[in-house]
Amino acid sequence: MVNVAVCIKYSIDVSNLKVDHANRTPITIGAPRRMSDIDRRAVEEAIRIKERCGGTVTAFTLGIPEARTCLREALAMGVDDAVLITDPLLESSDTYITSKALANALLKLGLFDIILCGETSTDGYSYQVGPRIAEILNIPCITYAKSIAISNGYVTVERDLEDRYEVVKTQLPVLITVTREINEPRHPSTASMMKAFKKPIKTLNAKDVGINGLNPQVQILKVFIPELKRKGIVFKDLPIKQSVAEVVKNLVKEGVLK
């Protein structure tokens, strides 16, 4: 049996994010939120591990009270228990505080053989929380997993490093961050969603997870939408082959092609 924890985030839905074009900044106040596709794959993988090996799956999230929404979705998918860390003090937490709070909650609520996270959040793209949790818990961390196999207290992970694949093996417990390619998440039925709304969600505050004050280690200086400028290069009155050759030549010059 393998006990799995999965950390998810109630992220800003960037596909529906509006932009203040005058200042070239995203409008985050009132923006819609949801569990990201990457985190849904982490939940799916946790459930698949339970189905193969037995055990339990517990979902954790830190966020505003409305973050219960993504925990309900995780419960409907097949997660056994859900934990929400919420506190006004934590609403401005950085990746350091978030990682510390989640790590302390994981320690408080049990011994987990595997902790799964998405490789990154889709609204912050810091790639920090998973590795930071592993560092705090002093356990191995394997990132960018595209497949996970468990046998005799060890986990073998195939990592997607863009230009190559890498296979690594380590003993449990371990924290693993997963990519979009690891699986295709299931869609919970209406009946499962209704059952999920009846399940309790354990709630912890800042004090419960050992956070008595904020000491941010990461400062975001600016978030802005880059200004796109077209080159305005036009090839006229040239044969098609020559036009294509000129386009390729310019793309190589700009470093787009090699």
- Per-residue pLDDT tens over the stretch 224-248: 777 777 777 888 888 888 888 888 8
| 64 pLDDT more than 90 | yes
| 110 pLDDT more than 90 | no
Q: What pLDDT does residue 242 have?
A: 87
Token pair for 114: 């595997």
CA angle 24, 9, 59 (to 5 degrees): 175
Cα–Cα distance measured from residue 253 to residue 258, given in angstroms and rounded to the nearest whole number: 9
Q: Residue 145's beta-bridge partner residues?
A: 159, 178
Among 27-41, 114-128, 132-146, 213-227, the least confident range: 213-227
Q: Which residue has the tokens 């796109």?
A: 228
pTM score, whole prediction: 0.83
Rg (CA), the chain: 22
Q: What pLDDT does residue 74 have?
A: 97
CA distances from 43 to 32, 114, 188 (A): 21, 12, 12
Please state, for a pLDDT cut of 90, what percent of the chain lies above it.
Answer: 62
Q: Which residue has the tokens 């401005």?
A: 92
